[in-house]
């Protein structure tokens, strides 16, 4: 197993020291899926709490911007762009979060946080129709910048 950067030799946790790194343009894209029923799909346009997609999109953006407040060892990252998009697919609602920065550390966690917050916002808005909602398949699709560029095959 590779050495974990957040763990000291004695096993204690640490925030990684990025002070010696050079800033670079960084990008991350994360996707997730909210599995819904036909009843949820039918109710999307007439929910008492309002427009589920717009609300989830704004919540996801807000969540991604607050990532370092929620994930203890994440660095605050100056985001230059954060986007959340949602679309109905056969399996449910596909949620995509993408983030950009010019910084010394990446934006994967901001994209992950945006997707998960958008997903749980959809759950909050749809749960009155029925509790059978599953947020699943949250995964990194692509990251660029820094030492490693990576894309899901």
Q: Looking at the annotation, which residues are catalytic?
A: 124
- Which of 71, 145, 138, 139 shows the shortest CA–CA distance to 106? 145
How does DSSP assign 95-142, residue by residue? EEEEEEEEESS--HHHHHHHHHHHHHHHHHHHTTT-S--EEEEEEEEE
Encode burial over 82-114: b for 16+ CB neighbours within 10 A, e otherwise.
bbbebeeeeebbbbbbbbbbebbbbbbbbbbbb
């Amino acid at each position: 197993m590779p050495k974990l950067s957040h763990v000291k030799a004695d096993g204690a946790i640490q925030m990684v020291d990025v002070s010696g790194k050079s800033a670079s343009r960084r990008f991350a894209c994360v996707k997730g899926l909210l599995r819904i029923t036909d009843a949820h799909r039918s109710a999307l346009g007439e929910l008492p709490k309002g427009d589920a997609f717009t609300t989830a999109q704004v919540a996801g953006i807000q969540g991604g911007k607050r990532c370092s407040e929620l994930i203890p060892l994440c660095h605050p990252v100056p985001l230059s762009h954060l986007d959340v998009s949602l679309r109905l697919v056969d399996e449910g609602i596909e949620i995509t979060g993408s983030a950009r920065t010019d910084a010394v550390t990446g934006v994967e966690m901001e994209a992950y946080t945006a997707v998960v917050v958008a997903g749980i916002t959809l759950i909050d808005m749809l749960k009155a129709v029925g509790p059978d909602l599953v947020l699943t398949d949250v995964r990194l699709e692509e990251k660029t910048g820094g030492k490693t560029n990576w894309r899901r095959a």
